[in-house]
């Protein structure tokens, strides 16, 4: 069977455009001699549509578009993800479904069985689980169609399964000869290798070919990498879609292919490309044409400036240098060199006059009080004021520049450097920021070397260094990874770090600053546990270790 895969980048809620894209690729598949053309999970409305699903009018438009697509099909099959409804006395009656259409009709519907309800997923909130799975006879094959999570519960691969049911095994038991999985699986580094290993094991054991089609693009904080995968019945990877861009290709289950061995790049390559796509898609889908950010002379804002120039084009990026009396001459020189290297535009507007004026206005209220972090935060908030003003005046998308390490421990100022539409590197630890900077400079200096090698500083007081307030970043990031991603507690982390008091102080900072993160810009997710929708801890609690 010749299966054409439409690896598309849908826009959530833009049902008409998504429908048109599916239709165009379907007809291309028909002209290329495909027997079947397949598209990702919820391709007609975009994934995840979240509470849009609860709007009856939204579901009506999805149903109408689904029926219209079906009405235009000929003898070539069309499979795509959509929403269907089947009401009975219990439950929502709403399903995450894959429909198979041909000869002008929806001939078969398979509902999703396994509804993920962890991390960034909340499908139990909206959908009912399939009552059963079935195969469908089509062009001499018995199609076993599953949807994303349905295939992530294989007993031969997982030592500990999330679900009792195994819908894919049920399809095998019912005589499927070709497996189809329509997916919307968010990317994090290492996820593609995990997909490969799991799907390879499944197809090898079940001795069935598989076409796995995944969407591509970014939906606010989630990045989908594409890389749709096709396997033969020996578990060999035969075809892989492009990464971080739309793609179309045909997989012939009867053809011999040279097995593909390389399918995931280095950490730096993958994360950088994920971040660029995340920024680019947020801007495109939210209709931003240009970007603005504050450039401090530090490595974080330098990295975000490079990503922005790649995503928007250098001609559409403007940076603000906002020096104060504490800004070093080197930071300004380094920033100007980066601006020149990238070919972006800039403005230099001092915050010092406003800072002095604000201190004078507040002087009576602060009488008898020494300067402290209040004055440091005041500087950051003045910079936030400038940046938001520029964003408002010119309609620019404001990018925040804080990294995951800083956001974790609250080393960021609410309504200051946290202002913005998108936290570009909010899921990238400081040690990883350095790796990405070196990756960017692999073919020559883009980020000035002095920015990479100098000691990081917020430059909010004389001779300030980050490590005056924080542990060395190597140590800090080790603690944070264990706490945030592995859910380790003090004793386990101290066994690795060897400093109980340091661990306690760091974890306390993480917990105390939950309120800041609840008000932060959306964070582009490139790890398995990012700040945002996938992390749900109470702001106020009295959990004692």
Residue 380: both structure tokens together: 């950051």
C-beta of residue 107 within 8 angstroms of C-beta of residue 100: yes
How wide is the angle at C-alpha 415 spanned by C-alphas 411 and 420, nearest 5°?
95
Among candidate residues 101, 148, 214, 238, the one labeled active-site is 148
How wide is the angle at C-alpha 147 spanned by C-alphas 144 and 151, nearest 5°?
75
Residues in the chain: 545
C-beta of residue 525 within 8 angstroms of C-beta of residue 188: yes
CA 288 → CA 170, 192, 261, 444, distances in Å? Answer: 46, 30, 39, 30
Indicate the pairing of strand 397-400 with strand 422-423. Answer: parallel
Catalytic status, residue 112: yes
Among candidate residues 19, 41, 123, 459, the one labeled active-site is 41
Question: Residue holding tokens 């396997």?
Answer: 231
* Strands of 105-111's sheet in order across: 105-111, 94-102, 77-85, 36-38, 2-7, 247-252
Could you tell me the end-to-end alpha-carbon distance of the chain, in angstroms, rounded to an integer?
Answer: 58
Among candidate residues 61, 112, 239, 430, the one labeled active-site is 112
96 conformational bin, left if phi > 0, alpha if psi -120 to 50, beta if neither: beta
Interhelix angle 490-497/500-512, nearest 10 degrees: 130
Residue 73: both structure tokens together: 């099909």
Distance CA 123, CA 219 (A): 16
Residues with a catalytic annotation lie at 41, 112, 148
């Amino acid at each position: 069977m010749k299966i054409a895969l439409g690896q598309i980048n849908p826009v959530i809620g833009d049902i008409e455009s998504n429908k048109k894209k599916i239709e165009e690729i379907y007809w291309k598949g028909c002209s290329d001699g495909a027997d079947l053309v397949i598209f990702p999970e919820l391709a007609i409305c975009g994934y995840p549509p979240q509470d849009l699903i609860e709007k009856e009018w939204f579901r009506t438009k999805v149903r109408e578009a689904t029926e219209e697509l079906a009405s235009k099909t000929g003898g070539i099959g069309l499979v795509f993800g959509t929403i269907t409804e089947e009401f009975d006395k219990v439950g929502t009656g709403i399903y995450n479904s894959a429909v198979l259409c041909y000869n002008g009709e929806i001939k078969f519907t398979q509902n999703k069985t396994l509804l993920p309800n962890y991390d960034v997923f909340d499908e139990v909130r909206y959908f009912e689980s399939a009552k059963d799975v079935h195969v469908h006879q089509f062009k001499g094959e018995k199609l076993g169609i599953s949807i994303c999570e349905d295939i992530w519960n294989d007993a031969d691969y997982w030592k500990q399964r999330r679900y009792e049911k195994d819908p894919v095994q049920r399809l095998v038991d019912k005589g499927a000869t070709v497996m189809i999985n329509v997916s919307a699986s968010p990317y994090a580094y290492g996820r593609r290798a995990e997909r490969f290993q799991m799907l390879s094991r499944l197809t090898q054991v079940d001795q069935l070919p598989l076409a796995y089609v995944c969407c591509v693009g970014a939906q606010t904080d989630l990045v989908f990498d594409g890389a749709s995968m096709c396997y033969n019945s020996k578990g060999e990877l035969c075809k892989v879609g492009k990464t971080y861009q739309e793609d179309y290709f045909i997989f012939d289950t009867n053809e011999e292919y040279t097995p593909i061995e390389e399918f995931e790049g280095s950490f730096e390559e993958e994360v950088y490309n994920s971040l660029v796509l995340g920024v680019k898609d947020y801007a495109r889908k939210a209709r931003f044409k240009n970007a603005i950010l504050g450039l401090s002379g530090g490595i974080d804002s330098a990295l975000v400036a490079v990503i922005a120039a790649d995503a928007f084009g250098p001609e559409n990026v403007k940076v603000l240098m906002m020096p104060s009396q504490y800004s070093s001459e080197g930071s300004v020189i380094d920033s100007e060199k980066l601006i020149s290297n990238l070919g972006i535009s800039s403005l230099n507007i001092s915050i010092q006059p406003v800072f002095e004026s604000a201190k004078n206005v507040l002087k009576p209220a602060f009488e008898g009080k020494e300067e402290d972090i209040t004055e440091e935060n005041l500087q950051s908030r003045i910079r936030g004021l400038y940046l938001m003003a520029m964003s408002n005046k010119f309609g620019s998308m404001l990018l925040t520049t804080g990294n995951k390490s800083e956001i974790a421990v609250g080393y960021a100022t609410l309504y200051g450097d946290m202002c913005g539409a998108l936290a570009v590197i909010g899921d990238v630890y400081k040690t990883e920021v350095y790796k990405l900077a070196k990756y960017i400079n692999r073919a020559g200096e883009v980020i000035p070397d002095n920015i990479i090698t100098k000691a990081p500083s917020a430059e909010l007081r004389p001779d300030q260094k980050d490590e005056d307030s924080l542990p060395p970043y190597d140590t800090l990031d080790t603690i944070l990874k264990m706490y945030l991603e592995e859910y380790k507690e003090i004793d386990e982390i101290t066994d690795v770090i060897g400093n109980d008091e340091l661990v306690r102080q760091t974890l306390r900072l993480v917990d105390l600053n939950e309120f800041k993160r609840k008000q932060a810009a959306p964070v582009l997710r490139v790890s398995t546990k990012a700040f945002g929708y996938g992390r749900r801890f109470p702001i106020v609690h009295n959990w004692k270790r």
